[in-house]
Amino acid sequence: MRLLLLTVLALLLLLFLAALLLLLLVALFLPAILFLILFLLFLFTFLVFLLLLFAALFSLFGLLL
């Protein structure tokens, strides 16, 4: 079960890094202010997603235990 959790977290980290790289590529073609707004929006949505994921995982572990 711990291996599954680590795998999911590693995949999420890879997804985050890929999206960050994509945003950096976009930044080469867009003004910096627009990029900053996009980055902050992305970071906010990612943090909300992480919060929901951890809440779901903790409730799952609570049900298992």
**pTM of the full structure:** 0.42
Residue 55: its pLDDT value, please?
83
Residue range 8-61, pLDDT digits in tens: 888 888 888 898 888 887 777 777 777 788 889 989 998 998 888 888 888 877
Please measure the distance between the N-terminal and C-terminal CA atoms of the chain and give it in whole angstroms: 12
Residue 33: its pLDDT value, please?
73
- Output the CA torsion sign for 39, 17, 15, 52: negative
Q: How far, in Å, CA of 41 to CA of 43, rounded?
A: 5
